[in-house]
Structure 1
Amino acid sequence: MAETIEVLVAGGQVDPGPPLGPELGPTPVDVQAVVQDINDQTAAFDGTEVPVTIEYEEDGSFEIDVGVPPTAALVKDEAGFETGSGEPADEFVADLSIEQVKTIAEQKHPDLLAYELTEAAKEIVGTCVSLGVTIEGDDPREVAAQIDDGAYDDTLAAETA
Protein backbone atom coordinates (compact mmCIF):
# COMPACT_ATOMS: atom_id res chain seq x y z
CA MET A 1 0.00 0.00 0.00
CA ALA A 2 1.43 3.36 -1.05
CA GLU A 3 2.18 6.07 1.49
CA THR A 4 2.39 9.78 0.72
CA ILE A 5 4.54 12.65 1.99
CA GLU A 6 3.84 16.27 1.04
CA VAL A 7 6.46 18.97 1.60
CA LEU A 8 7.43 22.46 0.46
CA VAL A 9 11.05 22.60 -0.66
CA ALA A 10 13.42 25.15 -2.19
CA GLY A 11 13.61 24.25 -5.87
CA GLY A 12 16.90 22.67 -6.88
CA GLN A 13 18.32 23.05 -3.36
CA VAL A 14 16.94 20.06 -1.45
CA ASP A 15 19.24 18.21 0.94
CA PRO A 16 18.69 15.24 3.27
CA GLY A 17 18.00 17.58 6.19
CA PRO A 18 14.68 19.13 7.21
CA PRO A 19 11.98 19.34 6.03
CA LEU A 20 12.48 16.25 3.88
CA GLY A 21 14.95 14.09 5.82
CA PRO A 22 12.88 13.62 8.97
CA GLU A 23 9.87 12.68 6.84
CA LEU A 24 11.80 10.15 4.73
CA GLY A 25 14.00 8.73 7.49
CA PRO A 26 11.56 6.07 8.73
CA THR A 27 10.59 5.01 5.20
CA PRO A 28 12.19 2.26 3.08
CA VAL A 29 13.23 4.68 0.29
CA ASP A 30 16.78 5.72 -0.57
CA VAL A 31 16.77 9.27 0.80
CA GLN A 32 19.66 10.41 -1.38
CA ALA A 33 17.91 9.11 -4.53
CA VAL A 34 14.75 11.02 -3.59
CA VAL A 35 16.75 14.19 -2.92
CA GLN A 36 18.56 13.92 -6.26
CA ASP A 37 15.31 13.26 -8.15
CA ILE A 38 13.59 16.25 -6.54
CA ASN A 39 16.56 18.53 -7.29
CA ASP A 40 16.56 17.39 -10.92
CA GLN A 41 12.83 18.00 -11.30
CA THR A 42 12.82 21.37 -9.49
CA ALA A 43 15.99 22.90 -10.93
CA ALA A 44 13.96 25.38 -13.01
CA PHE A 45 12.49 26.83 -9.80
CA ASP A 46 15.93 27.50 -8.27
CA GLY A 47 15.37 28.59 -4.68
CA THR A 48 11.61 29.18 -5.02
CA GLU A 49 9.31 27.23 -2.66
CA VAL A 50 7.85 24.31 -4.59
CA PRO A 51 5.18 21.86 -3.39
CA VAL A 52 6.35 18.24 -3.78
CA THR A 53 4.43 15.01 -3.20
CA ILE A 54 6.37 11.78 -2.71
CA GLU A 55 4.49 8.52 -2.99
CA TYR A 56 6.42 5.45 -1.89
CA GLU A 57 5.89 1.71 -1.59
CA GLU A 58 7.13 -0.73 1.05
CA ASP A 59 9.68 -2.09 -1.46
CA GLY A 60 11.42 1.32 -1.49
CA SER A 61 10.15 2.42 -4.90
CA PHE A 62 8.88 5.99 -5.13
CA GLU A 63 7.29 8.53 -7.44
CA ILE A 64 7.64 12.27 -7.16
CA ASP A 65 5.04 14.80 -8.25
CA VAL A 66 6.29 18.37 -8.42
CA GLY A 67 3.71 21.12 -8.21
CA VAL A 68 4.09 24.67 -9.46
CA PRO A 69 4.81 27.52 -7.04
CA PRO A 70 2.15 30.21 -6.59
CA THR A 71 2.15 32.86 -9.32
CA ALA A 72 3.11 35.61 -6.87
CA ALA A 73 6.19 33.62 -5.80
CA LEU A 74 7.24 33.18 -9.44
CA VAL A 75 6.81 36.91 -10.13
CA LYS A 76 8.76 37.85 -6.99
CA ASP A 77 11.54 35.45 -7.89
CA GLU A 78 11.75 36.63 -11.51
CA ALA A 79 11.65 40.33 -10.58
CA GLY A 80 13.91 39.96 -7.55
CA PHE A 81 11.87 41.48 -4.72
CA GLU A 82 10.58 40.18 -1.38
CA THR A 83 7.20 41.83 -0.81
CA GLY A 84 4.63 43.50 -3.00
CA SER A 85 3.60 47.14 -2.83
CA GLY A 86 1.30 48.32 -0.06
CA GLU A 87 -0.32 50.59 -2.64
CA PRO A 88 -0.04 48.65 -5.91
CA ALA A 89 -2.04 51.18 -7.93
CA ASP A 90 0.36 54.00 -7.07
CA GLU A 91 3.67 52.54 -5.89
CA PHE A 92 5.54 49.99 -7.99
CA VAL A 93 8.20 47.72 -6.55
CA ALA A 94 9.66 46.14 -9.71
CA ASP A 95 9.48 45.92 -13.47
CA LEU A 96 9.30 42.83 -15.68
CA SER A 97 9.93 42.46 -19.38
CA ILE A 98 7.28 40.80 -21.53
CA GLU A 99 9.78 37.95 -22.03
CA GLN A 100 9.87 37.43 -18.25
CA VAL A 101 6.05 37.39 -18.20
CA LYS A 102 6.16 34.75 -20.94
CA THR A 103 8.64 32.64 -18.93
CA ILE A 104 6.39 32.73 -15.86
CA ALA A 105 3.31 31.98 -17.98
CA GLU A 106 5.05 28.93 -19.49
CA GLN A 107 5.99 27.65 -16.02
CA LYS A 108 2.52 28.21 -14.60
CA HIS A 109 0.42 27.34 -17.68
CA PRO A 110 -0.30 23.69 -16.71
CA ASP A 111 -1.95 24.89 -13.47
CA LEU A 112 -3.95 27.75 -15.00
CA LEU A 113 -7.38 27.70 -16.59
CA ALA A 114 -6.06 29.38 -19.74
CA TYR A 115 -5.90 27.41 -22.97
CA GLU A 116 -3.57 29.80 -24.80
CA LEU A 117 -0.26 31.22 -23.64
CA THR A 118 -1.54 34.76 -24.25
CA GLU A 119 -4.37 34.13 -21.77
CA ALA A 120 -1.92 32.61 -19.28
CA ALA A 121 0.24 35.74 -19.67
CA LYS A 122 -2.79 37.89 -18.86
CA GLU A 123 -3.26 35.93 -15.63
CA ILE A 124 0.39 36.65 -14.75
CA VAL A 125 -0.16 40.33 -15.59
CA GLY A 126 -3.17 40.31 -13.25
CA THR A 127 -0.94 39.13 -10.42
CA CYS A 128 1.46 41.95 -11.29
CA VAL A 129 -1.41 44.41 -10.77
CA SER A 130 -1.94 43.22 -7.19
CA LEU A 131 1.80 43.12 -6.41
CA GLY A 132 2.62 46.56 -7.82
CA VAL A 133 4.87 45.34 -10.65
CA THR A 134 5.09 47.18 -13.96
CA ILE A 135 5.72 45.46 -17.28
CA GLU A 136 8.06 47.11 -19.77
CA GLY A 137 7.64 50.24 -17.61
CA ASP A 138 3.86 50.30 -18.14
CA ASP A 139 0.99 49.79 -15.72
CA PRO A 140 0.03 46.11 -15.94
CA ARG A 141 -3.62 47.06 -16.66
CA GLU A 142 -2.42 48.80 -19.83
CA VAL A 143 -0.32 45.76 -20.75
CA ALA A 144 -3.37 43.49 -20.37
CA ALA A 145 -5.23 45.71 -22.86
CA GLN A 146 -2.22 45.63 -25.19
CA ILE A 147 -2.20 41.81 -25.02
CA ASP A 148 -5.90 41.84 -25.94
CA ASP A 149 -5.09 44.14 -28.88
CA GLY A 150 -2.42 41.70 -30.12
CA ALA A 151 0.58 43.93 -29.38
CA TYR A 152 2.57 40.99 -27.98
CA ASP A 153 1.29 38.17 -30.19
CA ASP A 154 4.76 37.51 -31.65
CA THR A 155 6.45 37.44 -28.24
CA LEU A 156 3.75 35.31 -26.61
CA ALA A 157 3.39 32.84 -29.46
CA ALA A 158 3.72 29.32 -28.12
CA GLU A 159 6.95 27.57 -29.00
CA THR A 160 6.45 24.72 -31.41
CA ALA A 161 8.46 21.61 -30.80
Structure 2
Amino acid sequence: MKRVIRIQTSGGKVPPQAMQQLQGAGLNAQEVANIINDKVKPVASLGFQNLNIEVEYDDSTRRVIKVNVEYPPITDILLKVAGKDTPSHQAGKEIIGDLPLEKVAEVALIKMEELGSRTFKAALKQVVSTCRSIGLTVNGKDPKAVVKEIDQGVYDELISKYEKGPTSG
Protein backbone atom coordinates (compact mmCIF):
# COMPACT_ATOMS: atom_id res chain seq x y z
CA MET A 1 0.00 0.00 0.00
CA LYS A 2 1.32 3.42 -0.95
CA ARG A 3 1.72 5.93 1.87
CA VAL A 4 2.96 9.53 2.08
CA ILE A 5 4.94 11.32 4.77
CA ARG A 6 4.92 15.12 4.65
CA ILE A 7 8.01 16.92 5.93
CA GLN A 8 9.07 20.55 6.12
CA THR A 9 12.79 21.17 5.91
CA SER A 10 14.28 23.48 8.48
CA GLY A 11 17.37 25.47 7.56
CA GLY A 12 17.54 23.50 4.32
CA LYS A 13 17.91 20.20 6.21
CA VAL A 14 15.63 17.41 7.40
CA PRO A 15 14.73 18.17 11.06
CA PRO A 16 15.17 15.51 13.80
CA GLN A 17 11.41 15.01 14.29
CA ALA A 18 11.08 14.17 10.58
CA MET A 19 13.92 11.65 10.91
CA GLN A 20 11.95 9.98 13.71
CA GLN A 21 8.83 9.99 11.52
CA LEU A 22 10.77 8.28 8.69
CA GLN A 23 12.23 5.69 11.08
CA GLY A 24 8.78 5.07 12.55
CA ALA A 25 7.56 4.21 9.05
CA GLY A 26 10.32 1.61 8.78
CA LEU A 27 12.35 3.56 6.23
CA ASN A 28 16.10 4.11 6.21
CA ALA A 29 15.85 7.67 7.54
CA GLN A 30 19.45 8.64 6.70
CA GLU A 31 19.10 7.44 3.11
CA VAL A 32 15.85 9.39 2.65
CA ALA A 33 17.38 12.47 4.33
CA ASN A 34 20.33 12.31 1.90
CA ILE A 35 17.93 12.21 -1.07
CA ILE A 36 15.98 15.17 0.33
CA ASN A 37 19.13 17.18 1.12
CA ASP A 38 20.43 16.64 -2.43
CA LYS A 39 17.11 17.81 -3.89
CA VAL A 40 16.82 20.94 -1.71
CA LYS A 41 20.50 21.98 -1.83
CA PRO A 42 20.18 24.16 -4.98
CA VAL A 43 17.41 26.33 -3.51
CA ALA A 44 18.56 26.15 0.11
CA SER A 45 21.83 27.76 -1.01
CA LEU A 46 19.75 30.69 -2.32
CA GLY A 47 18.14 31.19 1.08
CA PHE A 48 14.95 29.14 0.70
CA GLN A 49 15.15 27.19 3.95
CA ASN A 50 11.67 25.87 4.71
CA LEU A 51 10.47 23.65 1.88
CA ASN A 52 7.61 21.16 1.90
CA ILE A 53 8.55 17.60 0.98
CA GLU A 54 6.40 14.54 0.29
CA VAL A 55 7.99 11.12 0.64
CA GLU A 56 5.94 8.41 -1.09
CA TYR A 57 6.74 4.88 0.00
CA ASP A 58 5.38 1.35 -0.20
CA ASP A 59 4.16 0.30 3.24
CA SER A 60 4.66 -3.43 2.60
CA THR A 61 8.21 -3.28 1.19
CA ARG A 62 9.36 -0.19 3.16
CA ARG A 63 10.83 1.24 -0.03
CA VAL A 64 10.76 4.86 -1.12
CA ILE A 65 8.86 5.32 -4.37
CA LYS A 66 9.34 9.05 -4.88
CA VAL A 67 10.51 12.18 -3.08
CA ASN A 68 8.63 15.33 -4.19
CA VAL A 69 9.95 18.76 -3.28
CA GLU A 70 7.59 21.73 -3.41
CA TYR A 71 10.00 24.34 -4.77
CA PRO A 72 9.21 28.07 -4.59
CA PRO A 73 7.70 29.67 -7.74
CA ILE A 74 10.12 30.36 -10.62
CA THR A 75 9.69 34.12 -10.19
CA ASP A 76 10.74 33.94 -6.52
CA ILE A 77 13.85 31.92 -7.38
CA LEU A 78 14.80 34.26 -10.26
CA LEU A 79 14.34 37.36 -8.10
CA LYS A 80 16.48 35.81 -5.33
CA VAL A 81 19.23 34.92 -7.84
CA ALA A 82 19.09 38.48 -9.21
CA GLY A 83 19.24 39.91 -5.67
CA LYS A 84 15.88 41.65 -6.01
CA ASP A 85 12.85 41.63 -3.73
CA THR A 86 10.06 42.59 -6.12
CA PRO A 87 9.45 42.17 -9.85
CA SER A 88 9.09 45.00 -12.34
CA HIS A 89 5.80 46.87 -12.22
CA GLN A 90 5.91 47.33 -16.01
CA ALA A 91 7.18 44.07 -17.47
CA GLY A 92 8.96 44.54 -20.76
CA LYS A 93 9.50 48.26 -20.12
CA GLU A 94 11.06 48.51 -16.66
CA ILE A 95 14.27 46.46 -16.30
CA ILE A 96 15.15 45.60 -12.70
CA GLY A 97 18.23 43.47 -13.34
CA ASP A 98 20.18 41.09 -15.53
CA LEU A 99 21.07 37.42 -15.14
CA PRO A 100 23.64 35.36 -16.99
CA LEU A 101 22.07 32.50 -18.96
CA GLU A 102 24.10 30.06 -16.82
CA LYS A 103 22.14 31.14 -13.70
CA VAL A 104 18.83 30.93 -15.57
CA ALA A 105 19.84 27.41 -16.66
CA GLU A 106 20.39 26.43 -13.01
CA VAL A 107 16.84 27.59 -12.20
CA ALA A 108 15.49 25.65 -15.21
CA LEU A 109 17.24 22.52 -13.95
CA ILE A 110 15.65 22.91 -10.50
CA LYS A 111 12.14 23.43 -11.96
CA MET A 112 12.34 21.14 -15.01
CA GLU A 113 10.29 18.26 -13.58
CA GLU A 114 7.64 20.63 -12.24
CA LEU A 115 7.40 22.43 -15.59
CA GLY A 116 6.66 19.15 -17.33
CA SER A 117 9.18 19.91 -20.05
CA ARG A 118 10.34 17.00 -22.17
CA THR A 119 13.75 18.55 -22.78
CA PHE A 120 16.06 20.83 -20.87
CA LYS A 121 15.96 23.23 -23.84
CA ALA A 122 12.17 23.59 -23.49
CA ALA A 123 12.47 24.19 -19.73
CA LEU A 124 15.19 26.79 -20.29
CA LYS A 125 13.02 28.67 -22.81
CA GLN A 126 10.13 28.74 -20.32
CA VAL A 127 12.34 30.14 -17.55
CA VAL A 128 13.96 32.70 -19.89
CA SER A 129 10.46 33.85 -20.88
CA THR A 130 9.56 34.21 -17.20
CA CYS A 131 12.54 36.56 -16.80
CA ARG A 132 10.87 38.99 -19.21
CA SER A 133 7.62 38.96 -17.26
CA ILE A 134 9.37 40.14 -14.08
CA GLY A 135 11.68 42.70 -15.68
CA LEU A 136 14.94 40.77 -15.94
CA THR A 137 17.19 40.68 -18.98
CA VAL A 138 19.34 37.65 -19.78
CA ASN A 139 22.97 38.13 -20.83
CA GLY A 140 22.13 41.84 -21.18
CA LYS A 141 19.45 41.13 -23.80
CA ASP A 142 15.67 41.05 -23.98
CA PRO A 143 14.63 37.49 -23.07
CA LYS A 144 12.62 37.28 -26.33
CA ALA A 145 15.90 37.65 -28.25
CA VAL A 146 17.55 35.02 -26.04
CA VAL A 147 14.72 32.54 -26.75
CA LYS A 148 15.30 33.10 -30.49
CA GLU A 149 19.04 32.52 -30.00
CA ILE A 150 18.28 29.29 -28.11
CA ASP A 151 16.14 28.16 -31.08
CA GLN A 152 18.97 29.08 -33.47
CA GLY A 153 21.42 26.89 -31.54
CA VAL A 154 23.58 29.71 -30.13
CA TYR A 155 23.57 28.13 -26.65
CA ASP A 156 23.62 24.43 -27.62
CA GLU A 157 26.91 23.87 -25.76
CA LEU A 158 25.44 25.20 -22.50
CA ILE A 159 22.22 23.23 -23.03
CA SER A 160 24.07 19.96 -23.66
CA LYS A 161 26.10 20.53 -20.49
CA TYR A 162 22.90 20.75 -18.43
CA GLU A 163 21.21 17.86 -20.24
CA LYS A 164 24.13 15.70 -19.09
CA GLY A 165 23.94 17.24 -15.61
CA PRO A 166 25.89 20.23 -14.30
CA THR A 167 29.37 19.59 -12.98
CA SER A 168 30.29 20.84 -9.54
CA GLY A 169 32.82 23.64 -9.24
Q: TM-score, normalised by structure 2?
A: 0.68
Residues 59-98 of structure 1 correspond to what in structure 2 (within 5 A)? 65-69=67-71, 70-98=73-101
Gaps of 5+ in 2: none
Tell me the secondary structure at the aligned position of residue 105 of structure 1: helix
1:98-156 deviation line (CA, Å, top 9, x unaligned): 11121111222122232221111100011111111110111111111111122211221
Say whether residues 1:157 and 2:125 are aligned partners: no
Question: In structure 2, what is the Cα distance between the partners aligned to 1:67 and 1:55?
Answer: 11
**Residues matched between the structures, number:** 158
Structure 1 residues 86 and 80, CA, compared in 2 at 3 Å: closer, same or farther? Answer: same
* Higher deviation after alignment, 1-10 or 92-101: 1-10
| Structure with more helix by fraction | 2
Tell me the secondary structure at the aligned position of residue 75 of structure 2: helix
* Higher deviation after alignment, 135-144 or 48-57: 48-57
Question: In structure 1, what is the Cα distance between the partners aligned to 2:152 and 2:86?
Answer: 31
Please state how far the C-alpha of 1:50 moved relative to its aligned partner. Answer: 3.1
Residues 47-66 of structure 1 correspond to what in structure 2 (within 5 A)? 47-48=47-48, 50-54=51-55, 65-66=67-68
Gaps of 5+ in 1: none
Q: TM-score, normalised by structure 1?
A: 0.71
Give the aligned residue type for 2:145: E
Q: State the percentage of identical aligned residues.
A: 29
Please state how far the C-alpha of 1:37 moved relative to its aligned partner. Answer: 6.5
Aligned-residue CA RMSD (Å): 3.6
